[in-house]
Amino acid sequence: MSARCPFEKAILSARCACEMATRFSVAEQMGVECRSDIARNNCATLLGFLRERARFALKVTDSSASLPFGKELKVMLGGLIGLQRQMTPDEGAARVQNIHALVQQAQAACGSLESLPYQEIVKSIVSFQGKRRGRARPSR
């Protein structure tokens, strides 16, 4: 049974990809499903840890409230890119080619998702800059 991917927004932003992801569209809405329940649970766990560890750095005090879209995307993209930099420091890529493989590599290297180097990953979340919209032109 397929369920929505926890990193759906990151995949739809075209800055990340995953071998377990399947895109779908219903009417005009795009979405991403995960083909593996185990992979989805691992990603949901990782995303939960990323949100929890980044709340203070993002100046979010209410831990029960969901993050605004921009901060959620910053946690996802900055977190995955930061994790990738920790796992493969030589690459330094700004795009994650395979989320599932990255999560598996991190689990193997650190023993569990709970023991990842979140202090370094949060630095990447904080410094992450998404695409900037064009500046408004001054009115005449």
Q: Is residue 50 part of a domain?
A: yes
Residue 16 lies in a domain: no
The answer to whether 106 touches 113, Cβ cutoff 8 Å, is yes
How many structural domains is the chain composed of? 1
Residue 92's pLDDT band, with cuts at 50, 70 and 90, is low
Question: Is 93 contained in some domain?
Answer: yes
Domain-located, residue 3: no
Q: Is residue 6 part of a domain?
A: no
Total-model pTM:
0.86
133: left (phi over 0), alpha (psi -120 to 50) or beta: beta
Residue-wise pLDDT for 61-90, tens only, equals: 776 668 888 889 999 999 999 999 999 887
Q: Which domain holds residue 85?
A: 37-127
Residue 122 lies in a domain: yes
Token pair for residue 108?
């193997």
Average pLDDT over residues 106-114: 94
Compute the radius of gyration of the chain from its Cα atoms.
16
In-domain check, residue 85: yes
Return d(Cα 60, Cα 68) in angstroms, integer: 10
Q: Which residue has the tokens 């569990």?
A: 112
Q: Are 125 and 58 in contact (CB under 8 A)?
A: yes
Distance separating alpha carbons of residues 74 and 82, to the nearest angstrom: 11
Tens of pLDDT along 34-51? 999 999 999 999 999 999
